[in-house]
């Protein structure tokens, strides 16, 4: 074969191999979020390093006929603090299809109920994350469903609807479907307003001392309003039933204000007693961000959880890989300096 023919054949082979990749939109993304924290459990204080929901992910999408689009995502947790992480798909990982009918996907990812908290939380993945209270003390409503099937409706004006179902919210196969779970949300977005109401219920494997199998459920309501582009105020309410220890309510208020490259934040959360007296707590969090570049932010946060005599709420749980257990009745505090780099 002559040299020009060899070159032509090589070019044709290269073009054919490249075609599948060129026909798709593929993205590699991630976040490195690390912090140095002084954590006090009420008796002792220690210096800690934490990797906070750091991640590496891959996304792809491909246009199909009839206005449809196939898409997928694989995302894994990365531990920058201790050099180990989760399995390849330890965070939001799914495959699905979307079009004029809405969006349908299958996999392991945030539920509509979990998103109520994340969309109103002023300190997500930081010290003082709202999950310290919304999922503290045996309340587990910020977890991803295993084997999840999710449908999101197309928006009807400012309103959309989500429903996610798991026929078996556990590992492995099942012959009885006794671990089902469902999460739903009705969301309103219009201008500076965001409001959502969500409901979630789980068939659990938790059995009380008298042999009763608990099936936890929760109602969440969240909202925020942007008074100006620089100023946001948020509110959150949760009522959880059939959980270990008895029913409990949680509410929170938060605000953020941006001035130039600085953003100032604060939030307050409160949890009521359950069936045991003196099991409530309050959490106050304040902090400031300094934007160093579009991709990079440095911040400082101070958080305090004031526990009643029998309460064990934390400030370092939720979205963080380094957590300090709380001592009953003690006030847990923390001071955190962090860096977030997204790509």
Question: What's the average model confidence in pLDDT over 154-159?
Answer: 90
Question: What's the average model confidence in pLDDT over 227-243?
Answer: 95
Question: What's the average model confidence in pLDDT over 315-319?
Answer: 92
Closest CA to 144 of 92, 186, 182, 76: 92
Residue-averaged pLDDT of the chain: 90
Helix, strand, coil share of the chain (percent; to 5): 10, 50, 40
- pLDDT for 8 equals 40
Q: Which two tokens stand for residue 240?
A: 């959880």
Question: What's the average model confidence in pLDDT over 295-315?
Answer: 97
Question: What's the average model confidence in pLDDT over 285-305?
Answer: 98
- pLDDT for 86 equals 66
Contact of 35 with 339, CB cutoff 8 Å: yes
Query: pLDDT tens digits, residue range 15-54?
Result: 444 444 444 689 999 999 999 999 999 999 999 999 999 9
Top pLDDT among 294 and 3 is at: 294
Top pLDDT among 137 and 29 is at: 29
- pLDDT for 82 equals 84
pLDDT at 317 over 60: yes
- pLDDT for 23 equals 46
- pLDDT for 155 equals 82
- pLDDT for 85 equals 64
pLDDT at 9 over 60: no
Burial-class residue 167 by CB neighbours within 10 Å (0-12, 13-18, 19+).
Answer: middle
- pLDDT for 24 equals 66
Q: d(Cα 17, Cα 173) in Å, to the nearest integer?
A: 38
CB-based contacts of 238: which residues, under 8 Å, 6+ apart? 134, 141, 218, 219, 220, 221, 249, 250, 251
Query: pLDDT tens digits, residue range 173-229?
Result: 888 888 899 999 999 999 999 999 999 999 876 766 676 778 899 999 999 999 989
Range from 6-15, 20-29, 62-71, 79-88 that averages highest in pLDDT? 62-71
Q: Which two tokens stand for residue 214?
A: 């608990």
pLDDT at 341 over 50: yes
- pLDDT for 301 equals 98
Hey, is 116 helix, strand or coil? helix
Question: What's the average model confidence in pLDDT over 137-160?
Answer: 91
Q: How confident is the model at residue 83 (pLDDT cuts 50, 70, 90)?
A: confident
pLDDT at 62 over 50: yes
pLDDT at 87 over 90: no
All domains of the chain in start order, with CATH: 26-342 (2.40.160.10)
Q: d(Cα 126, Cα 299) in Å, to the nearest integer?
A: 10
pLDDT at 305 over 50: yes
Question: What's the average model confidence in pLDDT over 123-133?
Answer: 97
């Amino acid at each position: 074969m002559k040299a020009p023919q060899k070159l032509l054949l090589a070019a044709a082979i290269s073009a054919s191999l490249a075609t599948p990749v060129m026909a798709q939109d593929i993205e590699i993304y991630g976040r490195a979020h690390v912090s140095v924290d002084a954590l006090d459990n009420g008796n002792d204080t220690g210096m800690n390093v934490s990797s906070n929901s750091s991640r590496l992910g891959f996304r792809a999408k491909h246009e199909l006929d009839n206005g449809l689009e196939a898409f997928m995502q694989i995302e894994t947790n990365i531990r920058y603090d201790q050099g180990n992480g989760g399995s390849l798909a330890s965070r939001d990982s799914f495959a699905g299809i979307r079009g004029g009918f809405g969006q349908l996907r299958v996999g392991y990812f945030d539920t509509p109920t979990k998103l109520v908290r994340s969309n109103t939380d002023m300190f997500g993945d930081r010290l003082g994350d709202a999950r310290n209270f919304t999922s503290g003390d045996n309340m587990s409503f910020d977890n991803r469903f295993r084997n999840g099937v999710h449908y999101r409706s197309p928006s009807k004006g400012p309103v959309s609807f989500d429903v996610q179902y798991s026929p078996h919210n556990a590992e492995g196969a099942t012959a009885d479907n006794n671990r089902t779970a469902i999460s739903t949300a009705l969301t309103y977005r219009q201008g500076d307003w965001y409001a959502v109401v969500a409901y979630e219920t789980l068939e659990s494997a938790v059995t009380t001392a008298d042999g009763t199998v608990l099936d936890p459920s929760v109602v969440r309501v969240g909202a925020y309003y942007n008074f100006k582009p620089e100023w946001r105020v948020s509110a959150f309410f949760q009522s959880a039933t059939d959980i270990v220890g008895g029913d409990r309510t949680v509410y929170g208020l938060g605000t953020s204000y941006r001035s130039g490259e600085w953003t100032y934040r604060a939030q307050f959360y409160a949890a009521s007693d359950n069936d045991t007296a003196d099991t409530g707590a309050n959490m106050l969090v304040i902090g400031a961000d300094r934007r160093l570049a579009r991709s990079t932010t440095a911040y400082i946060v101070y958080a305090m959880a004031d526990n009643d005599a029998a309460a064990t709420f934390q400030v370092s749980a939720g979205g963080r890989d380094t957590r300090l257990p709380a001592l009953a009745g003690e006030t847990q505090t923390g001071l955190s300096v962090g860096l977030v780099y997204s790509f």
